[in-house]
Amino acid sequence: MLRDVTQQNFFASGNFTNNQKTISNNLSNNHRAFLNLEYNIDSFNYIKVSPSITYGMSENRSSSDFNFLDAKNTMTSQGRNGDTSSSLTPNISVNAIWNLKFRKRGRNLATNINLGGNDNDSESEKLNFTRNMNLPIPLENTLRQLINQDNFSRNYGVRINYSEPIMRDRYLDLIYAYNYSLSHNDKEAFVYQPNGEWLLNSQLSNAFENTFINQRVGANIRTIKKKYNYSLGVNLQPVNLNGYSITKDSSYTPQKRVNVFPVARLAVNFTRTKTLNFNYQGSARQPSFNQLQPVLDNSNPQYQTQGNPFLKPEQNHNLSLFFNNFNFTSGRVFFVGSNFSFTQDKIVNNSIRLGRSGSQLTIPENVDGYYNATGFYNFSKPFQNRRYVFSLNGTVNFNHNINLIDSARNVGRNTLVSQGFKFEFNFKEWLEWDAGARYSLNTARYSLPGQQNLDFNSWTLTSNARVDLKGGWIFRYDFDYMINNGLAAGVNGNIALMNASLEKTVFKKKNGFLRFSAYDIFKQATNINRSVTGNSITDTRTNRLTQYFMVTFTYRLSRFTGQQTPGQSGMDRSRGMEYRRGGGF
């Protein structure tokens, strides 16, 4: 796989542009076995046990050339990175459910138990060559590291939900949940020496453990009426996070707190086709292992990372409101919704500039002030007995994010507006055709001086068709044309993707299918991605498997025959334009 990346990094004291070309080869094997056991002991007792085992192996190789340019477009450094790694990931989990119904109608006891163990053993050899150009005499440096990591986690949890009817249509729900997780990370970093030996670097190595205990105690009043139902209550969530460095024989300040989350749900049924739903949900999320590991990782000197053992868990709050109107007879569909969320102690990256060549150090920290608001709608109306279908859909999203640049608070305000429409034409049972378009506008503004504001827009034109020909032949195609504006010059461009297939139904019972497929007919199978964080804008062009052809044969062993689902297609349409919002919005 070939990937071109242009990344603009912004700091309080200047900005840099990193251009990078990467060639990678990834090989992975995954195995999974699972079992589902259900047993109805009697009319009051039900048990379900679901064990699962997965085992994964991967080998990855990559090589990249890079250079850094300052604000004056002067090269400050250039070099090459190489990475060869392998990993093993065996995992096991068990989920057990016991449900007990009492003789009194509405009284119920449900118990859910989860057990799990995850392991990740990896070995990675990293090579970095850097030529520093901003010195009177260019300085060359080669760093070769061997990093071995032995990570594992163990977790178990139990959730008990008891329901007691207190009136004809009202219930009391009592909830208790306990979750415990233990994570262990043993990282050994060896540095290659001129004499050909690998020397353990104790400053880059560490064995670290952390435990996370998350409990939830709640009480809800649930009311069920013919036209509406609602739940009101409160949850208490004690959180306990402990960390300990085995190598350094030191523990870190435990993080203990009790979170209080109200519970609110409302569903209103105006008619059989018109419903209104409101929901509030709160939760806490613990930091990841790498975010807590207080060890410097300089295997890539241009982008160094270090964990923070004093991180607090995030507290997330989410409110949503949806209205749906679906007419089964006419096929008319309309729904509109909104979502608002905010996070306390959100974990973000503090990007710190190192030197004058463009290198940086990233350390996670907690901040307040993050929130996100989203609104969307969808409308679809058929005409003339669904021969013609017209659809409209749109989205508006506003993201207020907080990041740290050189330890200074940077507020990012991002607005994303998207509007699309589609027209469908269905003629009898042999022709299905549609065409549509979508326009997206994305803008971002930052509070710190020197940060580059963002304006990006794109058009996506689409068309799909299925034609049933005589003799059992079926022709299909799907076409996307993407017009991008505002990306970096190295990755900006328009893309036309088209796949097509010709299929023949064979045998007397029509249970055989012979298909000839053509993928990426115009040889433009490229994925373009823009990712924006607190101090960077990254534009990526990835060249994947391009034009190819495939012949497939399918034979159905079912004892009955039926018509294939209209419009069903096995062609992959995942390639194309993807826009991802990062932590900077």
Average pLDDT for residues 83-96, to the nearest whole number? 95
Q: How far is it, in rounded angstroms, from Cα 209 to Cα 240?
A: 14
Q: Dihedral, CA atoms, 97, 98, 103, 108, nearest 10 degrees?
A: -50
Cα gap 321→275, rounded to integer Å: 11
pLDDT band, residue 446 (cuts 50/70/90) = confident
Specify the range with the lowest mean pLDDT, choosing from 209-213, 389-393, 486-490, 502-506. Answer: 486-490
Question: Residue 461 corresponds to which tokens in the numbers above?
Answer: 């034109």
Closest alpha carbon to 300 in 432, 130, 86, 470: 130
Least confident of 137-146, 181-190, 313-322, 565-574: 565-574
pLDDT confidence band for 566 (50 / 70 / 90) = very low
- Compute the 3-state secondary structure of the chain and give helix, strand, coil in percent, each to the nearest 5: 0, 75, 25
Is a pLDDT exceeding 90 seen at residue 228?
A: yes
Cross-strand bridge partners of residue 504: 473, 514
Residue 64 binned pLDDT confidence (cut-offs 50, 70, 90): very high
E strands within 42-169?
45-69, 75-101, 108-132, 139-167
Which range, of 137-141, 247-251, 581-585, averages the lowest pLDDT?
A: 581-585
> In percent, how much of the chain has pLDDT > 70?
90
Mean pLDDT of the chain: 86
Residue for token digits 């071109």? 4
- Show the domains of the chain with their CATH numbers: 2-581 (2.40.170)
**Section 384-410 average pLDDT:** 92
- The Cα–Cα gap between 515 and 551 comes to 6
Helix (H) / strand (E) containing 291: helix 289-292
pLDDT band at residue 291 using 50, 70 and 90 as cut-offs: confident
By three-state DSSP, how is residue 488 classified? Answer: coil
pLDDT classification of 239: cutoffs 50, 70, 90: confident
pLDDT for 451 equals 72
Per-residue pLDDT tens digits for 516-553: 999 888 887 777 777 766 667 787 777 666 788 999 98
Lowest average pLDDT, out of 3-17, 134-148, 454-468, goes to 3-17
Q: What is the reported pLDDT for 489?
A: 59
DSSP annotation of 1 reads -
pLDDT band at 579 (very low <50, low <70, confident <90, very high): very low
- What is the Cα–Cα distance from 4 to 491, expressed in whole angstroms? 7
Average pLDDT over residues 109-134: 93
| Contact (CB, 8 A) for 189 and 200 | yes
Write out the DSSP string of 386-402.
TTEEEEEEEEEEEEEEE
Assess whether pLDDT exceeds 50 at residue 563: no
Residues 6+ positions from 72 with CB-CB distance below 8 Å: none
Q: Is the pLDDT of residue 247 over 50?
A: yes
Among the residue ranges 88-102, 296-310, 379-393, 526-540, the one predicted with the least confidence is 526-540
Mean pLDDT of 17-35: 91
Q: Which one, of 577, 572, 533, lies nearest residue 440 by Cα?
A: 577
pLDDT per position as a tens digit, 162-190: 999 998 889 999 999 999 999 888 889 99
Q: 14-18, 337-341, 357-361 — which one is most confidently predicted on average? A: 337-341
Comparing CA positions, the residue from 293, 85, 88, 291 lying closest to residue 185 is 293
541/423: higher pLDDT: 423
Assigned token pair, 303: 């982008």
What pTM was computed for the model? 0.74
Q: In the chain, what is the straight-line distance between the N-terminal and C-terminal CA atoms, in Å?
A: 29
Q: Is pLDDT at 569 greater than 50 in this prediction?
A: no
- DSSP-derived secondary structure letter, 470: G
pLDDT above 90 for 87: yes
